[in-house]
Amino acid sequence: MSKFDEKMEQYSAEFKKLGIKFDAGLFEKVTKGLGPSIYKTDAEKVSCSQASEMETVKKNFLMKKLGMADGPKLDAALEAVCEKLGKSNRNKYRAMFYYLLVKELGAESKY
């Protein structure tokens, strides 16, 4: 089994544990788009309590990658995804976080 497949299994198990249904095809595309960051312990997770990290996600992923305009809609989506994954959950994996942002903002067509 490849490292990527192992990560996909890990994330799928986490989705199941949290009771979140997901589209495996879209999730795989979002995860592949993250490249090697999913294999780096520090980079593979997102911290909702860190304002600078939320700003980075907004600028680099939502605005640059997805081409969205800054505004309260993006902040609301970030907050909604933090709530979905659980504020106290320490395993907010970047792949899952970004996938849920794509779904929250209806940006599936970008993939």
Tokens 């976080």 identify what position?
97
Do 7 and 31 touch, CB atoms closer than 8 A?
yes
Residue 14: how many other CB atoms lie within 10 Å:
17
CATH of 3-110, one of 3.30.300.130, 1.10.238.120, 3.20.20.450, 1.10.760.10: 1.10.238.120
Cα–Cα distance for residue pair 68/74, rounded to 1 Å? 8
Residue 107: how many other CB atoms lie within 10 Å:
17
Question: Is residue 84 pLDDT above 90, yes or no?
Answer: yes
Q: Which of 38, 104, 36, 22 is nearest to 66 (CA)?
A: 104
Q: What are phi and psi of 93, to 5 degrees?
A: -70, 140
DSSP-H helix ranges across the chain? 3-18, 24-33, 51-56, 72-85, 94-104
Every domain of the chain and the residues it spans = 3-110
Q: Give the model confidence (pLDDT) of 52-82 as tens digits.
A: 999 999 999 999 999 999 999 999 999 999 9
Question: Is residue 21 pLDDT above 90, yes or no?
Answer: yes
pLDDT at 90: 87
Give this prediction's pTM.
0.94
